[in-house]
Structure 1
């Protein structure tokens, strides 16, 4: 027991970095958000949306997956989706860094639930189970929701397009699709208020998707 608790405390010390590991997104107060803040609101979204999902979900597993999915960034650091879109080669580096980080976590917690955490991480990444699809959808939707809350001056042009790239993550569930639609509508309104022709953006993005 003593050895297990010691290992857990070391992982918690590592996880504390997520409180100051910054993401690309900004808060409505004007500062960059942390990974920990993103994860927390994803978990809250899961709790709030769970009763409305069309299929019964294992809530405990869903919440575990959400809490675990970005834990690797305490070691591997956060890499913006924008950077990956600009340079797809970065994705390979990201995958390798996260692989090493999750293996280190499994090793550090080998006397407790290291294997479970390892499996949850890859379940999220593979997006084959219902819980992992929900977690992935909430991950993408929380990002856009945070952009909607931020000052428009913090948006990059590439993010205009990304507002209309969320369909593929939510088509499996009508509730999540409705959540996506309302978040997308908020983004559209924000862009239009700032003089952006969203019809042109939609045509371009939807044309590329098709």
Structure 2
């Protein structure tokens, strides 16, 4: 790969830092796709002892690359994203993958095929943690940043994705405890009746 090809890839990936997500951080600014992916990778790393048979390098690469299509389409919240949006994002992502030089095009294509199929422990782990990271970020941002439908979504988003693993089910239950605590800390409106 030439230095120019390398820099072209790096400049394209920088789009992950520039694309904001639906979630707001506790600092009061919107989270970037890159920040979400970075924390997702670290969440997976710190669970490596609980998933000793998982290929950590593949897990980390999946976590870092999983939202690469959003460089081209932006982030669309899960409750708004349509099948047409997903197809467009995947098509844009696939054009980017095909433009990568060898051996990266084949390696990245294989990672996305694995994630899209969702059949391996690595792909399932990344998907479950991807959903949990979003819920955790929403908890940190607080209910002032939530839409009304997110009160329920905070309890349900990704629960089914975590069901394959006792470790992830326990972690998701702990995240739900945080959701409950965040909601319970909201000021209550008192009405005189």
TM-score using structure 1 length: 0.83
Which structure dedicates a bigger proportion of its chain to helix? 1
| Contact 2:142/2:182 (<8 A) preserved | no
Alpha-carbon shift at residue 121 of structure 1 (Å): 1.5
Q: List structure 1 segments (4+ residues) > 3 angstroms apart after TM superposition.
A: none
2:56 corresponds in structure 1 to 59
- Of 143, 160, 171, which residue of structure 2 is paired with 1:152? 143
Unaligned runs of 5+ in 1: 85-90, 197-210
| Contact 1:24/1:32 (<8 A) preserved | yes
Deviations 1:130-171 (A, max 9, x none): 100000001000000001111321111111111221321111
Q: In 2 relative to 1, CA 56–111 (structure 1 residues): closer, same or farther, beyond 3 Å?
A: closer
1:129 corresponds in structure 2 to 120
- Of 188, 192, 195, which residue of structure 1 is paired with 2:184? 192
| Contact 1:14/1:75 (<8 A) preserved | no
Alpha-carbon shift at residue 178 of structure 1 (Å): 1.1
Alpha-carbon shift at residue 106 of structure 1 (Å): 2.2
Unaligned runs of 5+ in 2: 189-193
- Of 45, 57, 80, which residue of structure 2 is paired with 1:83? 80
Query: Bigger CA drift: 68-77 or 20-29?
Result: 68-77
Query: Bigger CA drift: 15-24 or 187-196?
Result: 187-196
Aligned-residue Cα RMSD (Å) equals 1.6
TM-score using structure 2 length: 0.90
Give, in whole Å, the separation in 2 of the partners of 1:101 and 1:119: 16
Matched ranges for 1:3-82 at <5 A: 5-53=3-51, 56-82=53-79
